Every structure is written in structure tokens, then in C-alpha cells.
A and B are shown apart, each in its own frame.
Chain A
């Protein structure tokens, strides 16, 4: 495998007295979508939050393009080119859609071609450009959350359950936007519970259980092996 954009080596993360990550090893290849799968509460979100620096790794190393970012502050990790879409969207409700987008582009004004691409992927954002983000629907808020991370080119995109709780029509819009991002050669680490989306987007997959990585391989292999899915995640994803 070529040099990965992100590498986690034996990462342990504790939150208060809880040992959430217990030696996570993970490699995210460049220009591909890496799925992070597993049941609820196994440490997927904590893995993403440890990478972005919200939670500190107590042991182990996190390397971004060969640079150790384990103890870097969150803003420095973000400015190093890591874009993060949290599970709760984290939009700024009191600001307008435009202001949310402007804030997301930390290195300067958003390139107009890029903005056109974002509007094409998420047309409601153009419609509600001057509206307060808090007035958007749930799906539109998720669109804004993804669009913010797309406002600039990043080395790596960390995206946590982008289709959670969304209507099917919005899910397909979201999946198409992520496919666009992938086709542009972006490196993405994606936590996703919707198997159809995971199968359509994922190049490789990593399955977690109890704070550890228990399986890594091709997404295609996992998608076609119901027995493997049952063994790793306790259910067949096709039936999910």
C-alpha cells in the first residue's frame, strides 16, 4: 500500500474513568474512502475525535502525512488540513449560511468555482444563503455541515455519520456529494451506519469492537460476506 495519509499506531484514549480506545491501529490511504464500522459505542466517534484532538490519546501515535499530530492542539490539526464533520453537525445556528461557510474557509475567501460545486451538490444552501442556519431543516443543516468541510481543499476529511436520521431523498443527495468529493481524489475517513451508502462509497473498511480494530480489508469483501459481517458486527448489513 502507498504511504497512507493518516496512520494510528496503538492509540489509547480515556474519557474520565472509561478506557474507550484500547490500542487502535488504523491506516487511511490517500485518495480513497476508508470506512470505519462497528456497533454503537465501540469507539468510532472517539477515534475521529482523538484524531482531531478533541480527546487526547494517552498512548500511541497519530501521524498525518508522516507528521506526528498526537499532541497538537485542535486548531493546529485543522489548519494542517484535517476537516471534521461531527455527528451532531455543529453548525452555528445564529449565523447565516453564508457566515457559516465564510468561517469554514480559514485560509481565505472561498474559491468561486468551489462554491458553485457546493451549490450544485447542495442547492438549498444557495436558496437559503442569507438565512440563519438555525432556521434550516435537519437535512439542510447536515448539508451545511458537509459543505463547510468542502469549503476548502483538505488533506483529510473525517466525517461522522453524515446520513444519520435523514430522509431517504436527503441521504441520496448526501451520498452523491460524498461521491463527488471522492471522485476529486479526496482522502476520507467515514463513519457510516447506512450500509448502502457505505458499500457505494467505501474502498476499504475497518471494523471496531470494544475500542480495538478487529478487522481491516476491502469494503467489497465485507459487503459480499454475510458470515463475516455477522461475526464482526453481530448482524448482516444487507438486512440492516
Chain B
């Protein structure tokens, strides 16, 4: 029983990191309608910008905030350079372009920053104990930040004008445009928010990983994809649900079936769900 509960705690912490990242991906899909293979690189950027700023003397939290904002801006810039010119050509050219962008970003980082693993500057902390269970402080922090992010995304989509316009553009871009929504501006804002969330996901991932290297985001990408599609692509609440299922699948699979198949469990869940619900649990937008 202790093991079961302890594994559940680990699963939730894993789900937290995945959820933040998946929500960002799904938001951008809602408006831009393609799967961004360069998304993992935004996570990597979030982590490395934080590391660089922290190295320059900023304390960790301000460094992370500045880094995350920078990733948001970088996202808009990259979208304008690489994706905007192709927006009218349908999803496939964009998808392949994003693979190219992923190569470019990841290897630029290696060119200028080397590829040895670096320590992410989080101090070593004793966990909290409750009964036989323990709660690593950093993981509790990650869980709180991800819950906060979910709440913020919820409020943004439901309570703000920008969010309403994003939802409108996501449901029917044509209709949104004739109703006076400046879709061009909404696309920029969406890129900013989506990349910013990715950057935040990267910081959380870096805290989990302790030691980081330039392929970190790319290696994590498939897990994010799995969560996003599982929930139904373009559905923020679906992405959160998908993240929990994937996190639970990975950690429980590791604990109870076989440690070396950990990622395979996550993907197997995805494939099985798609067999029965080809558009994901919440029914993805197309």
C-alpha cells in the first residue's frame, strides 16, 4: 500500500511536468492547426536561458521568470520567420518545417553552448515525511506551479477577451475573422503564450532532471505528444487529463511491470486509446 501511494505521488509529479508542456502545445495547435515538432526545443530554451541568467548572478526564480518571457518572445519570432509564410499551405508543410526548426534550434545550442550536461541550480533539499510516505519539496513545488498554470490557462480562456478570441479563432477561424477578431494578432498572442508555457515546462523539467543537456526537450517531446493526443488535440482540458494518464502509466508501469519499458507504456496507452477513440478522449479538433 505504501508503495502504491508513493508511486502515485511520483506519478502526479511526472504528470505535472507533462501537463504544463502539453497544455502549451495544445493551445498553439488550437489556433495554428499543426503539430509543432520544434516544441521540445522551447522547453530546452526555457531551461538553458534560466541556467544562463542564473549563471550571470540572478537568483533562480527571477531568472526563470525572465527566461520564460524570453522564450515567449523567441516563440513569436520563430513563428514569424518559419511558420507564418506557410500558414496558408495547410498543416503538412508546417509539420515538416517544424522538424527542420527543431534540428536548427537544438544544434545551435550545441554549437554555442557545448553539449556536456550542466547542473540546474536547485539546492538539495530533504523531503517532507508523512507517515511512511515522502514528498520531495521540489516535486511538490512543481505540482503547485503546474496546478497554478492550469488555473491561469483556464481563467485566460474563460474570463479574458484574449482567451475568448483564442477560443473563437480555434473553433472557426473564418467566423472569428468576419466577427472582427484580429486573427493575425491572436496568432501572435497564442504563439507567445504557448511558447511561454513551454519555457515554464522546460524549467519544471530541468528541476526534475537535475542535470540538463541540449536534447532534453526533444527526448521529452514524444511524451508530451502522447498526452496531448490522448486528451484530444487542441483541447486544453484534454491535455491535462492526458498528462495524468500518461504520468500514471509511466510510473506504475515502471513500478509494477518493467523498469526498462517505461516510455513504451505511455505510448502503448496512447495507441490503445486511439484504437477506440481516434480523436482522443475529449475529441480533438481537426
Asked if chains A and B come from one complex, the reply is: no
**A residues near B, CB below 8 A?**
none
